[in-house]
């Protein structure tokens, strides 16, 4: 029998591991494309987000200043609160919002403020009646306080009601619930004292800035209710 010749088959070439340079380059490209996609989505949705925040703030102004039917934005400039017209406000100028009743009488101001809470920054808006010299409403705009405890600063209606006829002078103080004896005190939330005190601190700091400006503009003393 004729012997068949032996067939020698060339072994497959072993696959080489990708180089570290190639891996780094691939990761860099993927990161760049991911970042570019994120930025693109942000830029597309930014106008909608901005418009939503503006409208949310506008609606909050009506809630913290009872009987308000129209509002006007103001900035403090040249020693006076001045109404903002289109294109006149600088980016670094802080605003407050004047509220007017149906007869266009000014009721007071809605003042935005923010500061450190227990978890993160708390943003809020409160209404100030310039004639009665009282805080007449408060609403938390943004908060990441602990669910079930710190979030009671906006979920606990009794706590929010503390700010419906509150004397800000000489400053607001938080006391244990049920121990309030003065009109410049609020009942802190049991189990969420830090968040309660944070709200008080934010408003006190904001009052120190804005109340002198408000009453200087309107020719009123702000140090006490009687002056």
- Inside any domain, residue 7: no
**How high is the pLDDT of residue 114?**
95
Average pLDDT over residues 58-81: 91
- pLDDT at residue 175 is higher than 90: yes
**How high is the pLDDT of residue 92?**
80
The full 3-state SS of the chain, as one line of letters, equals: CCCCCCCCCCCCCCCCCCCHHHHHHHHHHHHHHHHHHHHHHHHHHHHHHHHHHHHHHHHHHHHHCCCCCEEEEEEEECCEEEECCCCCCCCCCCEEEEEECCCCCEEEEEEEEEEECCCCEEEEEEEEECCCCEEEEEEEEECCCCCCCCCHHHHCHHHHHCCCCECCCCCCEEECCCCCCCCCEEECCCCCHHHHHHHHHHHHHHHHHHHHHHHHHHCCCCCCCCC
- pLDDT at residue 159 is higher than 60: yes
Question: Poorest-confidence range of 82-96, 108-122, 144-158?
Answer: 82-96
- Inside any domain, residue 165: yes
- pLDDT at residue 83 is higher than 70: yes
- Inside any domain, residue 149: yes
- pLDDT at residue 226 is higher than 50: no
199 and 124 Cβ atoms separated by less than 8 Å? yes
- Inside any domain, residue 15: no
227 band by pLDDT with thresholds 50, 70 and 90 = very low
Query: What is the total count of domains within the chain?
Result: 1
- pLDDT at residue 192 is higher than 50: yes
Question: CB neighbours (10 Å) of residue 51?
Answer: 10
* Pairing of the two strands 185-187 and 173-175: parallel
Average pLDDT over residues 100-115: 94
- Inside any domain, residue 161: yes
**How high is the pLDDT of residue 223?**
46
- Inside any domain, residue 33: no
- Inside any domain, residue 9: no
- Inside any domain, residue 28: no
Q: What percent of the chain has pLDDT over 90?
A: 51
- pLDDT at residue 211 is higher than 80: yes
4 band by pLDDT with thresholds 50, 70 and 90 = low
* Residue numbers of the domain that contains 118: 45-85+94-218
Question: Poorest-confidence range of 15-19, 166-170, 172-176?
Answer: 15-19
**Mean pLDDT taken over the chain:** 84
**How high is the pLDDT of residue 69?**
93
Overall pTM > 0.85: no
């Amino acid at each position: 029998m004729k012997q068949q010749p032996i067939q020698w088959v060339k072994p497959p070439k072993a696959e080489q591991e990708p180089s570290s340079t190639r891996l780094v380059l691939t990761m860099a490209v993927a990161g760049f494309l991911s970042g570019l996609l994120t930025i693109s989505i942000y830029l597309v949705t930014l106008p909608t987000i901005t418009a939503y925040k503006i409208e949310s703030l506008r609606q909050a102004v009506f809630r913290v200043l009872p009987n308000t039917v129209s509002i006007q934005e103001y900035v403090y400039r040249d020693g006076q609160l001045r109404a903002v017209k289109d294109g006149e406000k600088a980016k670094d100028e802080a605003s407050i919002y004047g509220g007017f009743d149906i007869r266009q009488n000014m009721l007071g101001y809605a003042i935005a403020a923010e500061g450190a809470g227990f978890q993160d920054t708390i943003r809020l808006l409160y209404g100030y009646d310039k004639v009665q010299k009282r805080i007449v409403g408060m609403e938390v705009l943004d908060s990441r306080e602990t669910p079930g405890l710190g979030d009671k600063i906006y979920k606990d209606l009794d706590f929010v009601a503390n700010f419906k006829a509150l004397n800000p002078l000489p400053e607001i103080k938080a006391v244990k619930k049920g121990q309030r004896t003065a009109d410049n005190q609020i009942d802190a939330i049991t189990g969420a004292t830090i968040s309660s005190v944070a709200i008080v601190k934010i408003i006190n700091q904001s009052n120190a800035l804005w109340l002198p400006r408000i009453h200087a503009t309107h020719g009123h003393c702000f140090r006490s209710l009687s002056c």
